[in-house]
Structure 1
């Protein structure tokens, strides 16, 4: 790999590792809020147990998210000096505000963890709500820089690279900010819910689970499915807004995502298949007539620009079509699985069959893969630009050597940290089984 590819690989692997913990850090507080509210409303001790155990898992994950996020920040400065030169003058504001969002999250997390038994019920809920606001705000503010990279605003740059006419608020509220912020928040809520659903479904499938434990896990599974279904549907609806934003502001990305080469009205939506540049078509795919035009402009007559309208050197890599399809398919499956399970429970009021529980065990990993795929798609489909139509990735990257060795070193470090995190979670909850806490708190309502 050349220097630019090594820099992208090193930074991308760091982001891929961090995004797991950052996303769960957005989603789990919402689950804790739901459990706390249900405990206060129903006076069922099972929900208090859920809130307590989910908080312990959240604290462990937060302990990894903080240093991994710090690594990403350092790498951003070291690997992309050309990019940071512009960022420091134009879009530094959300990074500065994010510090306060993290402070809010950490402060109220400490209050909730160490003083929960001394707080009034409404104060417990308020504390964890502020944890969620801080976590979500932190994710949204950091993602704002990514949105600005896709739709840069709030500055002028001359031929010599001199920045002028800086408007920090115009940069913050760039055209893709609200769509991107909504997608990040909703997908985080979705992933946190399905992570809980995976664990609850797995516990219900285990042989020898007692009726008492089964009742507890079914309650947790229902909370996860309700939140997961709502958030996954919201993510899909937000995806429609994203398509419209791409149609207006990043037409090359939309064309590459759909393998569309010729500008056309009544454009079809290509599902699956492989983009063939030689024949300028999507082979082996399924095409829904006129659907892409409707997604892009709410009208079948909408003219969608194709890749041939742009210079070949500005085309995104065509493999992003596969990434986009994988993200959409996983999201669609999660909607079907969650709503299907809820309908089954509502209609039958019976325990879910093992095949359904087995499918739900996969929901958490599917959500995480969808998150990773979405981020890789969004960044890869912006290439060859770091700042869209402003700065090429090759001009932003460092010229320092030995990146290959660092890439291998950090891959090993991330693998070790992931293994240690999984082991810590495993051993903690193995040594503190839910049966012990359920017997200590009494039977749920």
Structure 2
């Protein structure tokens, strides 16, 4: 394995693990705060116990997210020194602000975890809200840094020099809003379905039914709303990509030939050599409509882009199809859940609907990973779109393959520990109950 492949593999591995920890860390505090608020309003002890149980999960993911995020910051300097040499002074502001948000989150989480029976109840609840807001801010700030790589701004590039640097313009580049919105909603959908699915499994198994029903309703509510909002965010993001990164959009759609009534391709196997898509379903004009709001205007295809500037088509296309397909699946479950809430209340805890949520436990995170692959692989061969190539940013230091193997071991070990801690936490749920009547049967609930 050469240095370039090892460096890219290590970043892909690190980001692939960290993005899951980050999504959960951004969103779970809001679930926790809602449960806590319901406890304050209803005095239903189950909601207090849910807030306590979820707060332990938040603490686990805060710790693992801090570890993996710190490793990522070191990796940027270790693996991509040429990139950081020029880019660091430009897009460093969101990373600095993210550090501030991280410290606020840590302090607020400490107040929340150790504030039970010690703080004013509503101030205690507010500290949980602060954990959520600061965690969400951290995620958005990191995405702002990544969006700068896709839409560089805040500097003039003259004769290989980066001049007239404006960190604010760099942070609030053209892509930051669409990427931040898309990623935030994805975090709520993926975490919501994962948490709801776990509690649905416990309901199906008839374990601590009332506790898990209340937890399920909170998580499923967040998941359903987020999944139904995601197509709007996705449309905004796709229009932004079409404007700034036409090569990425063309690879996402495996769109080889520019023509009017540009088709949207569903599925299919791209063949780069023949520039065709086999076994795909083409819907004429739909890509033109999604990009330009009319069916005729041609969308720029790969034939308009030099081959050396084209991203890998197949993996970008497959990743995009996986993301969209799983997103549609989560939307279907969301529609069924909302129908159950509004019109068919006897559906809510029916086995078939609960099992759909159980099936959906990993789907959101798979979609997130696929979407991140579209974002990063679709930008290639650039590390800074149109300015610096990834191959020019990699470190000349030998032995990066060994670093990749070491970090792989660390992340796998970290994930095993996380799974063990979460599993133990789920098993400890029965011990959280303060009242015997909280442990109802399904028929009683």
Q: Determine the structure 1 residue equivalent to 2:230.
A: 235
1:243-267, Cα deviation, whole Å (9 max, x unpaired): 1101111111001100111222321
Q: Determine the structure 2 residue equivalent to 1:62.
A: 62
How many angstroms does 1:17 deviate by? Answer: 1.2
Q: Determine the structure 2 residue equivalent to 1:21.
A: 21
Q: Determine the structure 2 residue equivalent to 1:384.
A: 381
Matches within 5 A, 1:342-357: 342-350=338-346, 352-357=349-354
How many angstroms does 1:42 deviate by? Answer: 2.9
1:333-372, Cα deviation, whole Å (9 max, x unpaired): 1111122133235433225333332221122211111111
Of 393, 396, 405, 2:393 maps to 396
Q: Is the 8 A contact 2:209 2:439 kept in 1?
A: no
Matches within 5 A, 1:35-434: 35-159=35-159, 161-206=160-205, 209=206, 213-319=208-314, 320-350=316-346, 352-430=349-427, 432-434=428-430
Q: Is the 8 A contact 1:268 1:293 kept in 2?
A: yes
- Range with greater deviation from structure 2 (179-188 or 213-222): 213-222
TM-score in terms of structure 2 length? 0.94
CA 295–392 in structure 1, closer or farther in 2 if over 3 Å, else same: same
1:18-72, Cα deviation, whole Å (9 max, x unpaired): 1111110011012112212222333322111111101111111211111111111
1:393-417, Cα deviation, whole Å (9 max, x unpaired): 0000011111222222221221111
Q: Is the 8 A contact 1:345 1:352 kept in 2?
A: no
Question: Which runs of no fewer than 5 residues in structure 1 stay unpaired?
Answer: none
Q: Is the 8 A contact 1:27 1:190 kept in 2?
A: no
Distance in 2 of aligned mates of 1:233 and 1:342: 10
Distance in 1 of aligned mates of 2:51 and 2:191: 13
CA 436–39 in structure 1, closer or farther in 2 if over 3 Å, else same: closer
Name the SS of the counterpart of 1:316 in structure 2.
coil
Distance in 2 of aligned mates of 1:79 and 1:441: 56
How many angstroms does 1:89 deviate by? Answer: 2.1
Distance in 2 of aligned mates of 1:12 and 1:139: 18
TM-score in terms of structure 1 length? 0.94
Q: Is the 8 A contact 1:45 1:441 kept in 2?
A: no
